[in-house]
Amino acid sequence: MNLTGKTAVVTGGSRGIGRSICLELARSGANLVFCYAGNSAGAEETAAECSRLGVQALPVQCNVADPEDVKALMETALNAFGRIDILVNNAGITRDGLLLTMKESDFTAVLDTNLKGAFLCLKAAARTMMKQRCGRVINISSVVGLRGNAGQVNYAASKAGVIGLTKSAAKELATRGITVNAVAPGFIDTDMTAVLPESARTALLGSIPAGRLGQPEEIAHAVAFFAGDHAAYITGQVLAVDGGMSM
């Protein structure tokens, strides 16, 4: 993908899938503004790695559930580069627990970050993209949003909501040259899955037809495709990158 001269805003870019997305977009030539919640050391490392690829990368601390923080994030991109071509809504959290014992605060926290955060960022970026009459939005959902998962009613609800947000926004924005798509990762080899007990990991692998966990770079490749010109006639779609789990 050639994204030279494009500006991308990526949420949750300090580690894991978010960092891989930043690096893949940087390899394709895009300048970046990415946000992080609290991992400043990780954010600086992401920025340094992107810079070594020959692009500018600006880290911004941001709570995506806070409208003022989101406004500041988008203003940083516009002040630095004058436009926003690509938005990747990747920021997300988990607060796992069974339905009957889940605290309301844990349900709300996950919905606020994963779904409300995506809504706020999309709304803010869309204003600029509509003026430009072009833009690419890629929302990171999850296989859990497609099929559910015991112990994750909050996370599943938030990621299913992201799919609904994607399809509705795609219909609203298509006439302005803006595409809105989603990538739904399966279980990916990140810090979150590294802490699983070996028994849980073995059971997990048994549910994946491909027989392995995905790599963050495999999600980033899908995001880069949606961000590029080859995907200009694709909108409102959900691409599961999950080794066959959602079949």
Q: Are 58 and 80 in contact (CB under 8 A)?
A: yes
Q: Are 146 and 237 in contact (CB under 8 A)?
A: no
What does the block give as tokens for 73? 């994030």
Q: How far is CA 113 from CA 8, 110, 169, 247, in A?
A: 20, 5, 18, 28
What does the block give as tokens for 55? 């692009």
Catalytic residue flag (residue 155): yes
Place of tokens 């050639």: 2
Calpha distance 118→129 (Å, rounded): 16
Phi, psi angle pair for 236, to nearest 5°: 75, 15
What does the block give as tokens for 28? 């394709």
Determine which one of 155, 182, 183, 223 is catalytic: 155
Strand 135-140 relative to strand 86-89: parallel, antiparallel, unpaired?
Answer: parallel
**For residue 8, what are the β-bridge partners?**
32, 86
Q: Which of 91, 6, 22 is nearest to 57 (CA)?
A: 22
Q: Are 18 and 90 in contact (CB under 8 A)?
A: yes
- Write out the catalytic residue numbers: 155
